[in-house]
Amino acid sequence: MTSNQSNKKTATQICIIILSILGLMICIPILFPQVRQMIVDLAGRILHREIYPGWIKTSLSYAMGVICFILFFDYCTLTRSGKLLTHKVKQEIKDCLSEIDFRSLLKPVLIMSGVYLLGIVTIIRANFSYIDDIGRATEGYREWHAWSRYISELSSIFIHGDTNLTDISPLPQLLAILILSISSVLLVYIIGNKKITVVRLLASIPLGLSPYFLECLSYKFDAPYMALSILASIVPFLFITRKKAFFFCSVASLLIMCMTYQAASGIYPMIVLLLCFRDWNSRKKPNKEILSFMGMAAGTFCFAILCFKIFLVKPVPDYFYGSNTIFPIHQIIPGTLSNIKGYVMIINQDLGTIWKVGIALVLFFFIIQSIHQSAQKQISSFFVIILIIGLSFIASYGVYSVFPTLWYLPRTLFGFGLFLAILCIFVVSDYKKIATITVLALNWCLFVFAFSYGNALADQARYAEFRMGMLLHDLSSLYPDQNREDVTLQIKNSIDYAPSVKNIAKHYPVIERLVPKLLEGDTDWGFYYFSLRFKSILFDPKSLDARNDDVSHLPVVLDSYYHTIQSDGERILVLLKH
């Protein structure tokens, strides 16, 4: 090493030490309660508003996380053993990447991009502002950080080219398609022993076009970050042949998944289970090596989730669709079993008969194929297969299974689509015609449903526009003064589903959970949708039951086929008719 190189190295180390000391000096005082409270009080005075109490706990977590990161970074850059470890990890990552022919993946990515683009073309054409989209488009807020989705928060600034969001659709959805295409190709590459075929690619369609992920693709703002959570869960398995690289890439990727969309938390353990089962069933690896890998993967997953939970998670109120606190120790087993039971029941209610038959046949062929190819005893193989299917299904729900507050929203269940995709890829890998036809038929049904869903969104939007037009016409006739500010409006019930949506629901019940009802009085996005068209009346989103003043007995001032308007001149109650 030359003197110049030695001087540069010494200067770099000095800079790292100085920055580390400064970082520790900032973070360590935050560990003391009095200092945290003082900082919160100071921030409240500067911002002229009360700081949410949860920020006190959050600031403690952030400080601890930064301290741990500084210590780990210093270990890797300043100590000999740390430098050696860093060098080994870098070399292993380079070795794994050098074994991948990325050019061979380009054509499959283009194929799947075309498939997914065609699958959601009706969703894009519908141009439906889906739930949060209305608020983000009209107010320009991001606020993914409230759900600890910091990657989504930062990425949105780059994608939208501004801190204030505007509607740039379908660009985010096109980005989501590209990310999903890469995810499908990598999933096939990993599960199919690096062999990619058109049939296997088509078998992976449930990854992006399951009914549950269709809701994610409906979001004009959130779609790419939800898709990124899937990709982040798959990428670590490209480094599965090198332990150190696999560990560090898994931790980094799982943290990215947690900071984009936590509903993808079940993908990583599902892939681990199926890969371990494949190796055990074929006896390609000794049981000790399989158990060692499974234990390492489980430890890595728990480590990453705990790091996220301890250092990065912000408290979420239980009245949201999912809290971020788990069951108490004494309730964790019965509570988890109850959640899994609810998961099974909601999927059973959502899926149409054709889908259920197709899924049952895929499971049947997976069992038969696994037993036929097994190098183990058939009886033991059968029981292990059933166990793996059950564990994989449970894992598909991710960490939500240990949360006490859940609403089972479609977008939180897309792990089930990954579960189907993995099974379908395994089944078609044997090239049995009947099994392959069954898988492709099931995926064709999912593909067709995506078209129906997109068109249903468009029909619902047109029907809602008509109903709201009627309502706004009547309100503007009754209250023509645009300068009044003392009139409040409450809405009871909601705009019902369009006839086409009701028709689809006869065979695919999940459609009624995917297509939003509009102008539901107790939802914020109903306010945004309404305020775009009628700003002279203050919309009150509170439900009638939550208010002390009873407006249900106001005199009727207008009664039409679609709605009834009651008012005393200052308070308005609209009863929407179905």
Residue 445 in any domain: the answer is: no
Residue 304 in any domain: the answer is: yes
Are residues 513 and 468 part of one domain? yes
How many CA atoms lie within 13 Å of 40's alpha carbon, on the beta-carbon side?
18
H or E element that contains 529: helix 524-531
CB distance 478 to 557 below 8 Å: yes
Q: Which amino acid is at 77?
A: T
Residue 194 in any domain: the answer is: yes
Domain boundary pick from 389, 414, 431: 431
Are residues 531 and 461 part of one domain? yes
The residues that bridge with 556 in the sheet, in sequence order, are: 566
H or E element that contains 572: strand 571-576
Q: Which among 513, 518, 522 is positioned nearest to 496, based on CA atoms?
A: 518
Q: Could you give the CA distance from residue 148 to residue 551 in angstroms, rounded to a whole number?
A: 39
Are residues 419 and 373 part of one domain? yes
| Domain total in the chain | 3
Are residues 128 and 267 part of one domain? yes
Question: Tell me, what's the pLDDT at 40?
Answer: 67
Are residues 156 and 41 part of one domain? no
Residue 368 in any domain: the answer is: yes
H or E element that contains 276: helix 267-282
Are residues 120 and 70 part of one domain? no
Q: Could you give the CA distance from residue 309 to residue 57 in angstroms, rounded to a whole number?
A: 12
Question: Tell me, what's the pLDDT at 94?
Answer: 93
Are residues 18 and 146 part of one domain? no
Question: Within the chain, what is the greatest distance between any pair of CA atoms?
Answer: 91
**Would you write out the chain's pLDDT as a tens digit for each of its 578 residues?**
566 666 777 788 888 888 888 888 877 777 777 776 777 677 666 766 665 555 666 777 788 888 888 888 888 888 888 889 889 999 999 999 999 999 999 999 999 999 999 999 999 999 998 888 888 888 888 888 878 899 999 999 999 988 899 999 999 999 999 999 999 999 999 998 889 999 999 999 999 999 999 999 999 999 999 999 999 999 999 999 999 999 999 999 999 999 999 999 999 999 999 999 999 998 888 999 999 999 999 999 999 999 998 888 877 655 455 556 778 888 888 889 999 999 999 999 999 999 999 999 999 999 999 998 888 888 889 999 999 999 999 999 999 888 887 778 999 999 999 999 999 999 998 767 888 999 999 999 999 999 999 999 999 988 888 888 888 888 888 877 766 666 777 778 778 888 899 999 999 999 999 998 876 644 444 554 555 555 555 555 554 443 445 667 788 989 888 889 888 877 888 888 87
pTM beyond cutoff 0.85 = yes
Residue 12 in any domain: the answer is: yes
Are residues 290 and 164 part of one domain? yes
**Residues near 565 by beta carbon (within 8 Å), at least 6 away in sequence:** 474, 475, 478, 556, 557, 558, 559, 572, 573, 574, 575
Residue 506 in any domain: the answer is: yes
Question: Tell me, what's the pLDDT at 546?
Answer: 39
Residue 446 in any domain: the answer is: no
Range of the domain at 572: 456-576
Are residues 335 and 478 part of one domain? no
Are residues 202 and 159 part of one domain? yes
3-state per-residue secondary structure call for 148-208: CCHHHHHHHHHHHCCCCCCCCCCHHHHHHHHHHHHHHHHHHHHHCCCCCCHHHHHHCCHHH
Question: Tell me, what's the pLDDT at 207?
Answer: 96
Are residues 290 and 143 part of one domain? yes
Residue 442 in any domain: the answer is: no
**Residues near 276 by beta carbon (within 8 Å), at least 6 away in sequence:** 290, 293, 294
